[in-house]
Each structure stands twice: as C-alpha cells, then as structure tokens.
Structure 1
Amino acid sequence: MAQQDGLEPPPNLPEHRTTTQDKGPFCMARCTCGWSGPARRARSQARTDAENHRAG
C-alpha cells in the first residue's frame, strides 16, 4: 500500500504539488509537473527531495 504525504505548494507555484509514494522498502517523491526523485530508504529524505524540488 502506498503512503501519501501531501505537501502544500507555495502560493507562487500552484502547479507543483508533491507527494511521497512507498514502493517496497523505498520511498519516492513525485510532483504533478512530472518530476520524480530518486528512491530513498528514508521517507524523511524523500520529503526533503520534494521540498528542494518545490523551492526551485
């Protein structure tokens, strides 16, 4: 079952809505713009990847 952590987009970038998704022992950050981060073992690192993507 996938774990979804919705992160709110900053007001100036409404098209960037990120989530995290579990795949086995790994977690990946994904964005509505089509971007996806690397597979991480730490969910916190996937969240950081998503925050860095949204920041630009």
Structure 2
Amino acid sequence: MTDPVRIPSQDPDRAHDTNTVERGSFCIARCVCGWSGPARRSRDRARTDATEHLTAPER
C-alpha cells in the first residue's frame, strides 16, 4: 500500500516536492525531480532523507 506523506520545499523557487512511499516493510523518500533515497525500515529516517534532499545545495 502506498501512503504518501508530503514534505514541501521551504524555497518556492525550487522544483522539488518530496514524499515518502511505503513498499512492504520499507519506506522510500522520493522527489518530483527524479531523486529517490534508499529503502529504510524507519519512516522517520526516510523523512530525514527527504528533508536533507530539500536542504542540499543544487549541483
């Protein structure tokens, strides 16, 4: 079952909108820019991955 949790970007000019997706016993952070974090058993850690992605400088 997919249960997205929205984590909006703090900067409205950035084209990033992250969410977390449940895959079995794992949770994965994803972004509309194509980025996805590693599968985590901890939802909190997946949300932290998403927050770190949003606050990371553009490359």
Q: Common fold, TM-score beyond 0.5?
A: yes
Determine whether 1:26 maps to 2:26.
Answer: yes
Q: Unmatched 5+ residue regions in structure 2?
A: none
Identity %: 46
RMSD, aligned α-carbons: 1.1
1:14 Cα deviation after fit: 3.1
**Aligned twin of 1:47:** 47
Shift in Å, 1:29: 0.1
More strand by share: 2
Unaligned segments of structure 1, at least 5 residues: none
Give the TM-score taking structure 1 as reference length.
Answer: 0.92
What is the SS of the residue equivalent to 1:48? helix
Normalization by structure 2: what TM-score?
0.88
- Aligned length, in residue pairs: 56
One-letter identity of the residue aligned with 1:32? V
Partners in 1 of 2:13 and 2:45 — Cα distance? 22
For 1:28, give the aligned amino acid: I
1:11 is displaced (CA, Å) by 2.0
Structure-2 residue corresponding to 1:15: 15
Runs (4 or more) in structure 1 with deviation over 4 Å come to none
